Structure 1
Amino acid sequence: MPDDQLMEALEEDARAQAGRILEEAREAAAASLQKAREEAEREREERLFELTGRLKQERAARLNAARTKASGLKLGVRLELVGRALDEAVKRLTSLPEQEYSRLLNGFYDELLSAWEKGLHGEAPVVYVNPADIGRLSAEGNVLPDEKVKAGVVFTSGDGRVRFENTVEARLERGRKKMVPALNEMLFNEVM
């Protein structure tokens, strides 16, 4: 075989090998590109899943915070309305007709005197009433005016260490634990 033919055969073989190498390189590049796309898609899906989860958690947290705040505001409004109802009760009791109010005041005095006698045998109480109520009270002993006493009677020991109170406000405060749920149910059809 002449040299020219040998050279031509070698060149032909080299071109064929180069073609195969190029084809293999293209296939490897396409496979690498496909693998990179799949990895990118998988990573995108993972990040999207993570982000979606975080967004759901954040949304739930914000929703819970908003619900908590709304419940707090709702409770505040309800307690304000219940407080107004109790204030109105005090106002109505203190604006009773003279005879009924005097009977109420003397009833408070008698109840408090009975409790005082059971608790502190023998010691006479110092009695405090609102200055406007002194003439309405039929009481024996030391009765003193006190602007702070509203619609009721307060007994103290001589040294001031023992204090018994029987006022409309004190009674309402003692009854508040029972009255608040009852008023809430009446006003809002649900119990707190």
Structure 2
Amino acid sequence: MAANPQDSCDPLIAALEEDARAQASRLIEEAEEAREEMLRRARDEAAKEADERLSTIRERLKRERAATLNSARTRAAGLKLGVRRELLDGVLVEAQKRLVSLPDAEYGRLVTRLYEALKDEWEKARPGEQAIIRLNPADAARVRADGARVEPDTRVAGGVVLTSVDGRVVFENTVPSVVERARKVMVPAIDKLLFREALP
């Protein structure tokens, strides 16, 4: 019996088909592996990018928070300083009011002392030169002018102002001027007394 050519082809075809199926299966497996690898890489890159963005956002938020906090601290310190200065100014204004409102005898001694001190200062700085005495009309009787010209001046409160005849030289010794001159010494002392620390 003669061999059927189809029979000899069948195993060959079957082997080829089997080989093709195996190759197709390997290709499918490799494609699946490649797809899984691509997905893994994409997930890794997405996670890395998300981490980087999150880190960037955290850093930005940290900087913004620090800037906001610094700004708030600066504003708070400014407000605190403003309140302290306002309180200190209030203390100095109250001190001036109390000095000007002393009982009559004490106030008279104060005006006399302010005048005597200013007269001594004038004589040292401008020996032999006559000064015009300016003071509040209510205080005129408290000062011994010794023949000097006296000009009433309602703007002068709690003290005396001496001026040259031409008006170019002015010496002042009033409660407000004394408080203002003493301010540099008084403000830190009052501040320390009130707040237990001196102003910057």
Do these two structures clear the TM 0.5 threshold for a shared fold by scoring above it? yes
1:7-86 equivalent positions in 2, closer than 5 A:
7-86=13-92
> 1:38-187 to 2 correspondence within 5 Å?
38-140=44-146, 141-187=148-194
Match of 2:4 in 1: none
Q: What one-letter code is carried by the residue in structure 2 that aligns with 1:148? A: R
Measured after TM superposition, the shift of residue 186 of structure 1 is 1.2
Structure 2 Cα separation of the partners of residues 164 and 115 of structure 1: 8
Amino acid at match of 1:183: I
How far, CA to CA, are the matches of 1:173 and 1:119 in structure 2? 21
Aligned to 2:3: none
Q: Give the secondary structure class of the aligned counterpart of 2:119.
A: helix
SS in 2 for 1:128: strand
- 1:142-178 CA-partner distances (Å, limit 9, x unpaired): 1112222111111111222211111111111111111
Task: Report the Cα offset of residue 29 of structure 1.
Answer: 1.0
SS of 2:13's equivalent in the other structure is helix
Q: Matched residues in 1 for 2:114 and 2:195: separation? A: 32
Structure 2: segments with no counterpart, 5+ residues: 1-6
What RMSD in Å do the two structures reach over aligned CA positions? 1.4
Deviation at 1:116, TM superposition (A): 0.8
* Cross-structure match for 1:6: 12
Q: Which amino acid in 2 is paired with 1:3? A: C
Percent identity reads 54
Matched letter for residue 61 of structure 2: L
Q: Structure 2-normalised TM-score?
A: 0.90
**Over 6 Å off, 4+ runs:** none
Q: Deviation at 1:3?
A: 2.8
Aligned-partner Cα distance in 1 for 2:28–2:39: 16
Superposed displacement of residue 64, structure 1? 1.0
Rounded to whole Å, the distance in 2 between the matches of 1:159 and 1:36 is: 93
Partner-residue secondary structure (3-state), 2:121: helix
Unpaired segments of 5 or more residues in structure 1?
Answer: none
Instruction: Give distance in 2, aligned partners of 1:89 and 1:23.
Output: 96
SS state at 1:121 partner: coil
CA distance in 2, matches of 1:164, 1:87: 22
- The letter of the residue matching 1:143 is V
Larger Rg: 2
Following TM superposition, by how much is the alpha carbon of 1:98 offset from its aligned partner in structure 2, in angstroms? 1.4
| Equivalent position amino acid for 2:196 in 1 | N
Alpha-carbon distance in structure 2 between the residues aligned to 1:163 and 1:70: 42
SS in 1 for 2:160: strand
